Chains A and B, each alone.
Chain A
């Protein structure tokens, strides 16, 4: 598979797949098709593990006790991996899902924090993902902190961000330093481009490796099995990324 046919979404799915290794239970939140595809790929490759909870899917909703159960399970440490994004993400790992500008008179308003203000604290591996990598989205300081990247000593916190994945690169998050470190730059992109497009300061090694490309077998499994199964839950994503027509997504009930 040449890089030219590899969409940024597929590469992100593969990067996230590698980050989920060893997890026992991965939960998928709202509006998260890329993590969902990565998690089900991991499950398929792992012979049925990790558990993947996707509440919007009748087949993959592992919870029987309503909407509160995901949060209670996470609080107990039963959820190893969760995913978050934000209109803005800053260099300290803070995320903003609320608004740009003054909160009382915002310039832009987003849906809201969902469960981030809690899950960011209790899930050991939170993977951040952002499809737009620019100085508009990756900022020095967010306008509104839905959830802070780290917490001071004395504040109960078992989890937090471990990585930020974008179409340009993969950052790891250093909890001690409360800073991102550039892990790899994706094929076809450069460190200069990342520096140019990122509004926050970050650490990097002298030589930054190139993100490995997905294995052909993994891509095939993604396109042929996982994407069609998830198409009814994410019809627009399936149409845009995998060319799965929306009419056929609606009639598919496997997910």
Chain B
């Protein structure tokens, strides 16, 4: 075992106040146990990028006062509705800066970060009010348009996060991480200065030596820390591994509707106990 695989506390220590953190969407592998630990530690002023959208994770971090800003295509708990702490912060105007986006722009921006080029471009979006509230997004002329023709296209700054944080099914003892179909985890790891991953278990053997598994594995030189966290995505669904804890999520929605209720939720599930 190398130093890549470590305790959850040691892994999370790499995420420092003020860092730009990119995280995964709700059902794909969200590091919820790590998130609870971050809140317990009192992390502050994170600049969160949801790739491309989030639900419970972003909502909890907003409610806990951990974020200076959030860039997101949406904060939604699915059938349960808009993230309550997100909505409350938007209405009160006292929470993190909300930088509204749209999913494929975030993907493209992190892909540009992956290539370390200054900007990404994408079709669509021209005529959306997102352009009014995102002065950092620009409409440029396609430099390769036919002579005499105008072809405007959206250009957005590349995103190069300080740290990527997600939950994956397994890693090996030397820190290679198997992520399956989650291409965005590759992109996140490639674009970010650091990558912190929690996993359900350790795989016996070297993932890169297994041709069937290697193609879905992020090599360890991108990975700063792996920590084992069984049911680490709880209460969210984790792909085919476990269903969401709907009873718990309903309780969250009920409590998090108010600031007082949200405090109670944190006391019960973050500060007093580690997990259900």
Contacts and interface: CB of A to CB of B under 8 A. Distances in A.
B210 interface: no
Contacts of A232: 243
A31 interface: yes
A71 B73 CA distance: 13
Contacts of A105: 93
A219 interface: no
Contacts of B130: 113, 117, 146
A117 B124 contact: yes
A182 to B, nearest CB: 25
Contact of A68 (B27, B100, B104, B129): B104
B107 interface: yes
**Interface of chain A, helix or strand or loop or mixed?**
loop
B232 interface: no
Given A71-B107, A109-B87, A112-B76, A117 B125 contact: yes
A113 B185 contact: no
B189 to A, nearest CB: 12
Contact of B128 (A72, A106, A108, A117): A117
Choose among A72, A99, A105, A246 the residue with the greatest number of B CB atoms under 10 Å from its CB.
A99
Given A113-B73, A122-B124, A67 B52 contact: yes
A65 B91 contact: no
Nearest to B151: A156
A46 interface: no
A93 B260 CA distance: 40
A97 interface: yes
A104 B104 contact: no
B140 to A, nearest CB: 13
Given A30-B74, A104-B93, A116 B123 contact: no
Top 9 nearest A-B pairs (CB, nearest first) are: A66-B183, A112-B74, A111-B76, A71-B104, A121-B124, A109-B90, A118-B124, A117-B102, A148-B127
13 contacts: A30-B74, A31-B78, A58-B240, A71-B103, A98-B100, A107-B91, A109-B82, A109-B91, A112-B76, A113-B101, A118-B104, A118-B124, A155-B152
Given A108-B91, A109-B90, A110-B82, 4 more contacts: A61-B181, A103-B129, A113-B101, A147-B128
